[in-house]
């Protein structure tokens, strides 16, 4: 049974202030050929346990909350039609304030997350607009995502039904047991998968429903699609598209975003 969705009231966005206009001057809207309608689901309901204090999505980088950086990339992407944000109940007002302050007018719904990431994403995916042909699922804690990566995944998903950005693993990878190396893994076919992961709507709904019904603990949304035997196309990711997990990641993101603003 699908975990029920809880929708926050639709927010009315007033004219954005000077701060948000300056913020968006760093992001250029790029027009492109017509693509299928795409809803972006931003997963922002985590507890930031490994960050070492405070919700990482509200930490400011260059005076702007991490979540606002993330949302801006989808707000200014012409191929994204709406943004749905999944958060914790106690953060709903704060998220709404960020959307208003930074002019995230594509934010159509703010959704209360479930007890697991899978259930949270289900809530967001099933709240997407009825006419959404594609659904992009992105980590709120990846504020350095650029529109080139987003567009590449959308184009691949429109053609192959499921796609995700990926980067090859450069480091040597070892199999370890009881703190001893047991062998070296061939890294030629190993890739680190990033987000946004984008899927044809009916495909991701079926895949997530299947994983939920079978109580399978998936680590990303591609895994849910893999479990029903559907192929996922990889596209070019970016080493700049880091996920903020520990406090050390903040310094890296700060440097990356400083470069984006220059």
pLDDT tens digit sequence for 64-96: 999 999 999 999 999 999 999 999 999 999 999
Q: Which is more confidently placed, 73 or 8? A: 73
Low-confidence winner among 28-32, 56-60, 86-90, 117-121 (lowest mean pLDDT): 28-32
Asked if pLDDT for residue 202 goes beyond 60, the answer is yes
Mean pLDDT of 158-172: 97
In a domain, 2, yes or no: no
Q: 127 lies in which domain range?
A: 18-261
Tell me what pLDDT residue 25 has.
Answer: 45
Asked if pLDDT for residue 2 goes beyond 60, the answer is no
- What is d(CA 88, CA 85) in angstroms, rounded to the nearest whole number? 10
Beta strands in 154-245 (DSSP E): 162-168, 173-177, 180-185, 191-193, 197-200, 233-236
Asked if pLDDT for residue 169 goes beyond 90, the answer is yes
Q: Which residues contact 12 (CB under 8 A, 6 or more apart)?
A: none
pLDDT band at 48 (very low <50, low <70, confident <90, very high): low
In a domain, 237, yes or no: yes
Q: Which is more confidently placed, 57 or 50? A: 57
Residues of the chain above pLDDT 70, percent: 83
In a domain, 11, yes or no: no
Tokens of 89: 């109940």
In a domain, 141, yes or no: yes
Tell me what pLDDT residue 50 has.
Answer: 58
Identify the H or E element spanning 133: none
Residue 213: exposed, middle, or buried by beta-carbon count in 10 A (0-12, 13-18, 19+)? Answer: exposed
- Please, what is the average pLDDT of the chain? 88
In a domain, 105, yes or no: yes
Mean pLDDT of 100-104: 96
**CATH number of the CATH domain containing 114:** 3.90.550.10
Asked if pLDDT for residue 221 goes beyond 80, the answer is yes
Question: Which residue has tokens 């070892």?
Answer: 174
In a domain, 38, yes or no: yes
β-pairing, 173-177 with 82-87?
unpaired
- How many domains is the chain partitioned into structurally? 1
């Amino acid at each position: 049974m699908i975990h029920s969705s809880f929708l926050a009231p639709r927010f009315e966005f007033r004219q954005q202030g000077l701060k948000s206009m300056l913020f968006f001057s760093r992001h250029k809207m790029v027009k492109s050929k017509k693509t299928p309608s795409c809803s972006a689901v931003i997963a922002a309901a985590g507890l930031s346990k490994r960050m070492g204090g405070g919700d990482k999505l509200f930490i400011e980088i260059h005076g702007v909350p991490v979540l606002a950086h993330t949302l801006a990339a989808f707000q200014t992407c012409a191929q994204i039609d709406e943004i749905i944000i999944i958060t914790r109940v106690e953060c709903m007002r704060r998220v709404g304030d960020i959307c208003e302050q930074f002019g995230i007018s594509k934010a159509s719904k703010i959704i209360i997350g479930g007890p697991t990431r899978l259930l949270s994403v289900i809530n967001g995916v099933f709240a997407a607009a009825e006419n959404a042909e594609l659904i992009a699922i992105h980590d709120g804690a990846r504020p350095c995502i650029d529109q080139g990566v987003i567009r590449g995944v959308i184009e691949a998903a429109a053609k192959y039904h499921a796609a995700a950005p990926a980067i090859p693993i450069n480091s040597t990878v070892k199999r370890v047991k009881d703190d001893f190396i047991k062998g070296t893994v061939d890294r030629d076919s190993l890739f680190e998968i990033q987000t946004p992961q984008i899927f044809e709507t009916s495909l991701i709904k079926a895949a997530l429903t299947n994983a939920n019904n079978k109580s399978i603990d998936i680590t990303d949304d591609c895994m849910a699609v893999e479990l029903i035997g559907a192929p996922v196309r990889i596209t070019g990711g970016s080493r700049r598209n880091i996920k903020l997990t520990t406090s050390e990641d903040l310094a890296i993101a700060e440097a990356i975003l400083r470069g984006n603003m220059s």
